[in-house]
Amino acid sequence: MEAINKLRTECVRYYVEKGYPLDHCELYVPKDEDEIRRIFGCIQEEKKWKTNTHSNPLGIQFEQDDNT
């Protein structure tokens, strides 16, 4: 149970760092073990995605215009 509490704490911390109020984050992150693991996994994927797209956070492919 302690490991799940640590994962939940990390999830809450992640959303607080994104600018959400702590009380909102506490309500947003569920206490269900499976949901905590799912959200934590999504956060890890988002962090990986962000580090792979520094200059293009949306990962949009731009076509080069011949006039530029």
| pLDDT (average), residues 8-32 | 94
Phi, psi for residue 16 in degrees, rounded to 5? -65, -45
Structure tokens at 26: 């506490």
Read off the DSSP letter of residue 18. Answer: T
Residue 38 has pLDDT above 90, yes or no: yes
pLDDT at 51: 60
CA 33 to chain centre: 18
pLDDT at 44: 92
The predicted model scores a pTM of 0.68
pLDDT at 55: 53
- Would you say 29 and 39 are in contact if contact means Cβ atoms under 8 Å apart? yes
| pLDDT (average), residues 31-43 | 94
